Structure 1
Amino acid sequence: MFRTLTFPAMKPSKILFWLFFLSFFSSSLLFSQELLINHVNIITMENDKVLEDHSIYVKDGVIMEIAPEEEISVAGIRTLDGRGMYIFPGLAEFHAHIPLPEQFGPEFQEEVLWLYLANGVLRIRSMLGHESHLTLKARVESGEIKGPRMFISGPSLNGTSVSDPEAGRAMVRAQKAAGYDHLKLHPGLDTPKFLAIADEAKKIGIFYGGHVSMDVGLVTSLNKGYRSVEHIDGYLEAMITDKSKLDPTKSGPFNMLSVGEVDKNLLPGLIKMTLDNKAYVAPTMTLFERYFGYQPAYELRQQPEMFYLPGQLVTQWFNTKTQLESSGVLAEEKVKPYLDFRKALFLELHQAGVPMLMSSDSPQVFNVPGFSIHREIESMSNAGMSNYEILKTGSVNCAEYYEQGGEWGVLKPGAAAEFVLVQKNPLEDLTTLEKPQAIMIGGKFMQRDELQLQINLIRQKYIRQ
């Protein structure tokens, strides 16, 4: 049986001793390139069934076999007993933001990676790139440092960074050549700039998506190849026929105060267009509930996960939200209709077959890396999505987004050995995802002891005096 240790508060010197000890122990025993886990319940994500009391054999980061225990015979390798535990492919955060090194130093970048791992997040799509992120990705892939597998978007393409259509084409080519996996579009692009970016991206073969610029609109964005619509952006605006109602000086953030002007009869056509163009949606439900919601900033500031971040960053978030609160724009009577609209829109898109990507936008105002994914899961559940479909948004859908379906995000022979062990069946209890008992990634097996110790070190570093 997997044994979970807890580490009480201790002096930094003792923490460092235990970290060294655990690192040595893990390197010699648990980080074996071959591992057989017996008597475990497996959620493959190929369907919504559970393979009860099975064994999973992994070698060199690949799943070699999944079968009842008596059907697997491998001599001379480390074997673990997972009796009563559940394995699933792990989660992906597909709207992440790796910090810039100048913000709080390169160390903070690596700490963020640990916060993801400790919460069972094994893949991220970072949506605002920097050259240091490419280096960080390479260091993870080489095994130099530990972290989730990464897809990196390039620096923002927006109305300011793109001076003209030809400059947009040049930026697309440069980002592809630099090794970025995706293009991130922000507001402010006019139609000629956008069309040039979209055309060049398709020519050289790189996915693109992001916010929907007002001048471009959702219809053009979808028809010209948007791979992902972030924040469900553009749908509200596309359902408002009188564009004068979208005055940013009056309509609030993301035009939330214009929700009463929406013509819902236009939604079926937008859904069909989304499906026809094979676009994905990254809803970031929790971002809007926390950043633009009516829960007070002073309450959010005191939540336990805030203590894993630099105090200066949390203060910045607090100041940002309190400014909106003081302006009156986040009053419950103004915000609730918009949040209800987003919840209903999310569910209608999902039920129509639009593929959703697990995404919380972290780190972002009161969304802490890793921890915020569990809040996103709760939000999707509250909106009416089933547990199995929620798990798909963070596994199968994300792999298929990059046309890598079957390579990861599922548990089957030949797929990447990336999975998380939890105590209960997440198809029945999503809260079990909040406490991974172990993870497997990059050929390395890490028990909760090590994950908890690493984030304890981070919390110790940022203790508020």
Structure 2
Amino acid sequence: MRRITILLFLLFLGNSFAPAFSQELVINHLNVITMLDDQVLEDHSIYVKDGVIMEIAPEDEISVAGVRTLDGRGMYVFPGLAEFHGHLPNPEQFGPEFQEEVMMLYLANGVLRIRSMLGHESHLALRDRVMKGELLGPRTFVSGPSLNGTSVADPEAGRAMVRAQKEVGYDHLKLHPGLDTPKFLAIADEAKKQGIFYGGHVSLDVGLVTSVTRGYRSVEHIDGFLEAMLPDGTTIDPTVSGPFNMNLVGQVDKSKLQGLIQLCLENKTWMAPTLTLFERYFGYQPAYELRQQPEMFYLPGLLVTQWYNTKSKMEADGVLAEAKVKPYLEFRQWLFLELHKAGVPMIMSSDSPQVFNVPGFSIHREIESMSKAGMSNYEILKTGTVNPAKYMNQEDQWGVLKPGAAAEFVLVQKNPLEDLTTMQKPQAIMIQGKFIQRDELQLELNLIRQKYLRQ
């Protein structure tokens, strides 16, 4: 697809394509949001060379002979967004080309870094191609295959899986439900020995407290809190408790949250909220409405149909009735904001591609959900910029705009600290030393949409 895309783009734009990928350039007349603080550096220039920011200064203070210059036209530039709970597809699903399309869907939406949380060996090769500049895509981190109650036969098998995933080069371990405490403790102990991050869902037998105190790097979906806040002695019957035990939300004792927050702060535990996943997958908005939203047409029709059938089945069974779901969604918004206000760090995440969450597009829905919950625009941007870099122990290397940091940024028309919706239409991105303008991003989107055009 890449070769065809480039040829088509050349036909549309003539000779403008080659200089757009210049390795060295100065962009003038920018309003720079560095994310080092919440200030805007007005009418500044950014000098980039070999994928690194060399200088940020007022225009008349940057003078580099022979370097191409671009006019930023007063646009705002910030370090881009993150999808730090995604699921890169496997090539067996819709072919390796679909993997590359997902990467482009992220970029076209200003998502410049991803953490894929359900591993496959092809993801390692995909990540490495991006790192080498052989494939255009976001900065990529990948977890290994799921460690869960079925895949882990016993504690020693869990240790062996940890060692194997570390050896082949995965960046992270993903834990799913069903682990008993002995299996979990073995995995946690071996992960610490091997020096690899681990986190995920919270197994019912293990519980949130044990997960956090034994070194969970991140709790995905803010999982385990509801169960940890139920009255002591509560019996959970999964046949009636609903998805993520949402039917038990009325029994929650909110006074228990402060102790859980303190544990998270003491153990430096991160949260991947994925608010929009629950609002769309497990929410009461009908599947037939979600199916018709514009971003669905950038995906294979079969995948969207699978999502539709999954959610429609739950609707038909009465699982997603508004009376059941609304209190749970309100609880999640409250929980998210309370954790944030207490200082528990968050990483921007929406869980895509997942039921009606389209890569890239769903991050903007997540941003809207975080804003509705009460998080400020600046703090929302931190979850997609500074925080992911801190999470990966790569602070100041990327996710900020400063000399010496990676030249990874997005240009938008308005100030995102005042208008979050402006980030939905990136006017240009800088990634892998390449400056890519809106015309090419839109062309790539058009090609993907045309491929999956359906009657």
**Is TM-score (shorter-chain normalized) higher than 0.5?**
yes
Alpha carbons of structure 1 residues 395 and 243: separation in structure 2 relative to 1, 3 Å: farther
Per the alignment, residue 324 of structure 1 pairs with 314
Residue in structure 1 matched with residue 11 of structure 2 by the alignment: 21
Aligned to 2:372: 382
Match of 2:185 among 191, 195, 205: 195
1:182 aligns with 172
- Give the secondary structure class of the aligned counterpart of 1:150: strand
Residue of structure 2 in register with 1:3 after alignment: none
Establish whether residue 95 from structure 1 lines up as the match of residue 81 from structure 2.
no
Residue matched to 2:292: 302
Equivalences for residues 6-405 of structure 1 within 5 A: 18-21=8-11, 25=15, 28-242=18-232, 244-405=234-395
- Tell me which amino acid in the other structure corresponds to 2:267: N
Deviations 1:439-464 (A, max 9, x none): 00110110011111011000000011
Segments ≥4 residues shifted beyond 6 Å: none
Structure 2 CA distance for aligned equivalents of residues 135 and 114 of structure 1: 17
Quote the offset at 1:20 in angstroms. Answer: 3.9
Conservation of the 8 A alpha-carbon contact between 2:10 and 2:17 = no
2-structure distance, mates of 1:77, 1:131: 41
Deviations 1:200-248 (A, max 9, x none): 0001100000000000000000000000000000000000134544211
1:99 alignment partner, SS class: coil
Query: Does the 8 Å contact 1:26/1:446 carry over to 2?
Result: no
Alignment of 1:426 onto 2:416 = yes
SS across alignment from 1:407: coil
The alignment's TM-score, normalised by the length of structure 1, stands at 0.96
Structure 1 position 459 matched with structure 2 position 438: no
Give the AA of the match of 1:369. Answer: P
1:22/1:450 contact within 8 Å kept: no
* Deviations, residues 290-331 of structure 1 (Å, cap 9, x unaligned): 000000000000000000000000000000000110111111
Aligned partner letter, 1:226: Y
Q: What whole-Å deviation, never above 9, does each CA across 1:19-38 have from its counterpart, x for those lacking one?
A: 24368745521111101001
Provide the secondary structure at the position in 2 that maps to 1:414: coil
Counterparts of 2:233 and 2:188 in 1: how far apart (Å)? 24
Q: How far 1:145 moved relative to its partner?
A: 1.5
Q: Confirm or deny: 8 A CA contact 2:265 2:344 kept in the other structure.
A: yes
Distance in 2, Cα, partners of 1:410 & 1:330 = 40
1:442 aligns with 2:446: no
| Residue 414 (structure 1) aligned to one of 381, 387, 404 | 404
Superposition deviation, residue 138 in structure 1: 1.0
What per-residue deviation string (whole Å, max 9, x for no partner) do you get for residues 376-408 of structure 1?
Answer: 000000000000000000010100001111000
Distance 1:220 1:68, change over 3 A: same
CA displacement at 1:144 relative to structure 2: 1.5
Change in Cα spacing, 1:23 to 1:200, as seen in structure 2 (3 Å) is farther
* CA contact 2:30–2:44 (8 Å) conserved in 1: yes
Counterparts in 2 of 1:134 and 1:23: CA distance versus 1, 3 Å: farther
2:104 and 2:352 mapped to 1: Cα distance?
13
Question: How far apart are the structure 2 equivalents of 1:370 and 1:410?
Answer: 20
Q: CA deviation at 1:149?
A: 1.0
Spell out, residue by residue over 1:158-211, the C-alpha distance to the aligned partner (whole angstroms, 9 max, x if none).
000000001000000000010100000000000000000000000110000000
Name the CA distance, whole Å, in 1 between partners of 2:161 and 2:155. Answer: 10
State the shift of 1:83 in Å.
Answer: 2.2
Letter in 2 for 1:153: S
What's the RMSD between the two structures over aligned residues? Answer: 1.3
Do the aligned residues in 1 keep the contact of 2:5 with 2:444 (CA within 8 Å)?
no
1:293 alignment partner AA: G
8 Å Cα contact 2:117-2:174 kept in structure 1: yes
Q: Deviations over 1:26-65 (max 9, x none)?
A: 5521111101001100000000000000000010000000
Q: Structure 2 vs 1, CA of residues 177 and 104 (structure 1 numbering), >3 Å: closer, same or farther?
A: same
Give, as a single letter, the amino acid of the residue that structure 2 aligns with 1:459: R
Identity %: 78
Contiguous gaps of at least 5 residues in structure 2: none
Q: Distance in 2 between matches of 1:243 and 1:171?
A: 34
Question: What letter is aligned with 1:414?
Answer: G
